[in-house]
Amino acid sequence: MLEQAQEVLAGEEAWVVGGAVRDELLGRPLVDLDIACRAPEEAARRFARRMGGAPFPLSDRHGAWRVAYRDGRTVDFTPLRDNIEADLATRDFTINAVARPLEGGEPVDPFGGLPDLERRVLRAVGPDIFQDDPLRLLRAVRLEDELDLRMDEETERLIREHASLVERPTGERVLSELQRLSSRGFRRLDQLGLLAPLGGSLERLSGFEDADIEMRLVAVFGERLSRLPVSNQLRRYAAALLRAEPPADVSARSVYRFRRGTEPWAVDAARFAGAGEELQRAIEEARRRDPAEPLLRGDELGLPPGPEIGRLLALVEEERAAGTIATREEALELVRRNQNVTDS
């Protein structure tokens, strides 16, 4: 993408800025490219014609444009209204306030980002960065966590001082940062006073240090996770984990009932509920034994549509899982017996 951007903006003033320069210096893969130039919209449209992708405005207010690709890569074109030094002064941290000419050449580093990068230090460009954009409170922790950096004392002091602002960004932006944190990152949020205002707690995190981010989010935020704009699937996943209660034993019937309330996430729910590996193994074994076809279908019961059909079919499936019935005839007899009980 870099070579194509050089071709599109050949002869124009343009700078590679922000995380792209930082990641290049760190030897990290270049996924997102950020270019400061005089005419962002025109540059984005020309680049999209050259390379494909979908150009769209990132911000009407700031004039930034993005070209996005299906594989997750993006190229941002941001307005260069004054000189590059003035542009870098608006950045968040010194390691993101380094620019180099798009056509090649020596980097411009007015705030000492290069030596900070060598020392693995995260330092604020200025005292107002968190007031200008409170999302930077979370970004600071994410960068420290993701890049194995450490904040300098003044940046940490500023974060603590402005921690109450952490609720101001939109839920989408907050969630985007949280989804990239390790367990260490969540502990750092708590240490800096940023977790509680978001509704999080470390009380349940212990034991899920190596879990996937979805389980860590449920452990940290519990029912309050629904306050964030999570996907419907994550919302259902969280509900399954939070309502899970370990069964008294690992009998076939108990495992079936536990699965009925927690699948397709029964193994995660068992772990979250603290049930131990025995239940997890029993769930996996039960999954392997799941029959390919049901013994009965609803239209075979001869009943009018309604909840009674669902109740009887669930009864059949439970008894089948428990091993008390195995054939269609046994299932029909079970239904008849239970209809008699209901009707009497």
- pLDDT score at 339: 84
Q: By the 8 A CB rule, do 144 and 151 touch?
A: yes
- pLDDT score at 154: 98
Each residue's pLDDT tens digit in the chain (344 positions)?
Answer: 788 888 889 999 999 998 889 998 898 887 789 999 999 999 999 999 999 889 999 877 788 999 999 888 899 999 998 899 999 999 999 999 999 999 989 999 999 999 999 999 999 999 999 999 999 999 999 999 999 999 999 999 999 999 999 999 999 999 999 999 999 999 999 999 999 999 999 999 998 999 999 999 999 999 999 999 999 999 999 999 999 999 999 999 999 999 999 999 999 999 999 998 999 999 999 999 999 999 999 999 888 888 999 999 999 999 999 999 999 999 999 999 998 554 44
User: What CATH number should be reported for the domain whose range is 1-116?
Assistant: 3.30.460.10
How far is residue 130's CA from residue 236's CA, in Å, rounded to a whole number? Answer: 34
Residue 255's H or E segment, with its range, is helix 252-262
Q: Is 43 helix (H, G, I), strand (E, B) or coil?
A: helix
Q: Is 36 helix (H, G, I), strand (E, B) or coil?
A: strand
What CATH topology corresponds to 120-243? Answer: cca-adding enzyme, domain 2 (1.10.3090)
Question: Whole-model pTM above 0.85?
Answer: yes
Residue 59 sits at φ, ψ, to 5 deg, of -155, 115
Q: How many residues does the chain have?
A: 344
Q: What angle do CA 215, 213, 201 make, to 5 degrees?
A: 65
DSSP for 107-136, please give it.
Answer: PB-TT-HHHHHHHTEE-BSSTTHHHH-THH
Residue 124 sits at φ, ψ, to 5 deg, of -70, 145
- pLDDT score at 344: 42
Give yes or no on whether 1-116 and 120-243 have one common fold.
no
- pLDDT score at 341: 54
Q: By the 8 A CB rule, do 273 and 240 touch?
A: no
How far is residue 162's CA from residue 295's CA, in Å, rounded to a whole number? Answer: 62
The domain locations on the chain are 1-116, 120-243, 248-289, 298-343
Residue 10's H or E segment, with its range, is none
- pLDDT score at 340: 56
How far is residue 243's CA from residue 183's CA, in Å, rounded to a whole number? Answer: 23
- pLDDT score at 134: 97
Which tokens sit at 34? 């950020």
